[in-house]
Amino acid sequence: MSEREQTSDSRPSRCCSSPLTVNLLIHKYEGETLEGQPHGEGAVSLAGGHMYKGVFSKGLMDEHGVFTWADGSKYEGHFDSNVMMGHGMYSWPDGSTYVGDIYYGIRHGTGTYCGSRGAIYKGQWSQGKRQGKGAIYYNQDKTSWFKGDWVMNKIEGYGVRRYLSGDVYEGEFVDDRMIQLRNDRPLPLLACDASSGLGLNMTLNIDSLQLCLPDRQRWDAELLAVELVVLRHSSDLRGIYSFYSRLGNARSPDNTFMLSWMQLWRLLKDCKVHHHGITLSQIELLTKGALEGSTSPFTGILFYKFLSCLVVVAYHIYHADMTANRDVLANSFSKLMTSNILPNAKNVKGFLFRLQEHTHVALQYCRESWELYQAYRTPAHSMTYRELLLIFKDFHLLDDRLSTSTFMEVISEETPEPSNTSSLLILEITFLEFFDALLGCAVVKCCDERQMNSQECEISKTKNTSQRNISEEAKDTSTIHIERMSDFQLTGLESRNEEERQSTFKNQTGWEQRVHQFFDQVFLNAFEHQLVKKMIKQKDLSLKRQSLKVLTGSQQ
């Protein structure tokens, strides 16, 4: 049996039309009345064996009710003056059903038809026929399906067809037939395996958006429409995912990597998503449901979760611009793709990922910087640029080279309003923005070897001062130092081979030298110094408490 025959949903015309087309002569009525007419709850038997049970208004079937034809066909849903209108459900004797929008008794709008042989169509209807965007599943396992455009019950336009064999065709259709094969062969659906692609059922994890839509009853239609738009851009999105997932990674045999949060943040900043009144920290909160699990900068994100994240982002920055209440998700996602993603993706900015050779050097300090970022932020909110500036002040890093105004120039490089410094300082920042700011300040703060030969760098003074202060204040505190390293788990700090790093120092570029100087000789030293001071203070407080207890006990 062909799939066309399997999905045939032609019904007797009288079963999809208004009860006005049948004889409404009342044989028997039981229920409430008003002025001699059925009014309120009631049940009626009609000529020809038809029946209705539900609400009446002045003798007419109105609001919710159930109409049953003599042959067993049934409609349950909304009525308007004897006309099936609004939302309802048809069921037929052969077991097939329809649930969705009804207009003058006809399937019109959005609805789901389940055939008697297991096929299911979900999508748009016009005058009783499949028309617009829709998906049809040919078997109960949903391993054979089509998603795309329909015209007068036929597949017409763009679509994706998956066969039982696993082969997938993506392209244009005319009169239920494929007219073009990309590369003359069926294409895999977005990915070569279900673990990194959308899988067989195109499952976007965007349930959090259901409560945001103005018409929640249209959720299935909204979901289907946005899935089709995502499929249409799948090739570009796969390339973008692959490009950003390789940033900072050495080549692998298959050159395949999983996108991390750090790389996702970089993509969103490159595409200027943060120019729409939303920060990366806010996006992180909004997409927690879509991405699930940890939001550590190094956590991997599967491809289908990446797509879900983009759909959520698109809704939150563009839904207010949508004039119609239909296809809000699809239209918002299309806007994101055409205005942000496609024009800007792969044009990498920032200090960390812009140049591959710089990335390799910078990532040596990434884990330690992450531990510092965690140590200074609170569970209630992320770090702000103001708090980072205060850290620089506490570490005594601000000087003629790295002033407050220079700091502001560094952090405003990618902001939509660089002159609005007051609002910039209060923005909550992700770890990528924190680390990028450190790298930008490193280039400003430190000198390369040529400058060091001609003049004494402030960084050397800072280094000597920091080391001298630490040496003086850390006397008899070796135990404290070991405890501090355990508490904050700065394992990389002691594991780095300083001699090995110094041996390659002279062969490095000025940028690389400055980064090494900043982290090795200034920033991380200052961090250690602050921690030692903190531990000394805690120990002093503990000794004072113990002394007070001893004194109190002796007095008693």
Identify the weakest region by mean pLDDT among 16-30, 93-107, 462-476: 462-476
The pLDDT-based confidence of 480 (bands split at 50, 70, 90) is very low
- Tokens standing for residue 207: 């349930």
Please, what's the b/e burial string for 109-123 (b: 16 or more CB within 10 A of its CB; e: otherwise)? bbbbbbbebebbbbb
Say if CB 88 and CB 69 are below 8 A apart: no
Phi, psi angles (nearest 5°) of residue 128: 85, 0
Q: What phi and psi, each to the nearest 5 degrees, are found at residue 376?
A: -105, -15
Classify strands 26-34 and 177-178 as parallel, antiparallel or unpaired.
Answer: unpaired
DSSP for 104-129 reads: TTEEEEEEEEE-TTS-EEEEEEETTE
Please tell me the least confidently modeled range out of 141-150, 153-162, 194-203, 532-541: 194-203
Q: Which of 337, 288, 310 is nearest to 198 (CA)?
A: 310
C-alpha span between 471 and 532 (Å, rounded) = 10
Torsion angles phi and psi, residue 374, rounded to 5 = -65, -35
The pLDDT of residue 161 is: 87
pLDDT tens figures, 351-384: 999 888 888 889 999 998 998 888 887 777 788 9
The yes/no answer on whether domain 3-22+69-184 falls in CATH 1.10.40.50 is no
What is residue 514's three-state secondary structure?
helix
Range name among 148-152, 219-223, 475-479, 552-556 with the lowest pLDDT average? 475-479
Question: Is the Cβ–Cβ distance between 205 and 305 less than 8 Å?
Answer: yes
- Rounded mean pLDDT of the chain? 77
Q: Looking at residues 294-310, what average pLDDT do you find?
A: 86
Q: What percent of the chain has pLDDT over 70?
A: 72
DSSP-derived 3-state class of residue 348: coil
**Amino acid, single-letter form, for residue 434:** F
Between these two residues, 531 and 33, which has the higher pLDDT value? 33
Alpha carbon distance 204, 208 (integer Å): 11
In this predicted structure, what is the pLDDT of residue 355? Answer: 86
pLDDT at 523: 86
Is the Cβ–Cβ distance between 227 and 147 less than 8 Å?
Answer: yes
Q: Residue 89 carries which side chain, given as an amino acid letter? A: M
How far is the CA of 526 from the CAs of 220, 234, 390, 489, 523, in angstroms?
A: 56, 47, 13, 17, 5
The residue among 173 and 293 whose pLDDT is bigger is: 173
Q: What is the pLDDT of residue 190?
A: 34
Q: Mean pLDDT, to the nearest integer, of 400-424?
A: 85
Q: How confident is the model at residue 225 (pLDDT cuts 50, 70, 90)?
A: confident
The pLDDT score that the predictor gives to residue 495 is 39
For residue 535, name the pLDDT band (cuts at 50, 70, 90).
low
- In the chain, ranges of CATH 2.20.110.10 domains: 3-22+69-184
3-state SS, residue 53? strand
Q: How far is it, in rounded angstroms, from Cα 385 to Cα 31?
A: 71
- Whether the pLDDT of residue 185 is over 80: the answer is no
Q: What digits encode the pLDDT tens for the residues 230-260?
A: 888 888 998 999 999 999 887 665 557 889 9
Q: Give the CA angle between residues 41, 42, 47 to the nearest 5°.
A: 150
Q: Which of 138-152, 237-251, 319-333, 527-541 has the lowest mean pLDDT?
A: 527-541
Q: Contact 200/162 with Cβ under 8 angstroms?
A: yes
Looking at the DSSP assignment, which residues form a beta bridge with residue 53?
43, 66
Closest CA to 28 of 64, 53, 9: 53
Among the listed residues 26, 56, 31, the one whose alpha carbon sits nearest the alpha carbon of residue 42: 31
- Alpha carbon dihedral 300, 305, 307, 312, in 10-degree steps, equals -110
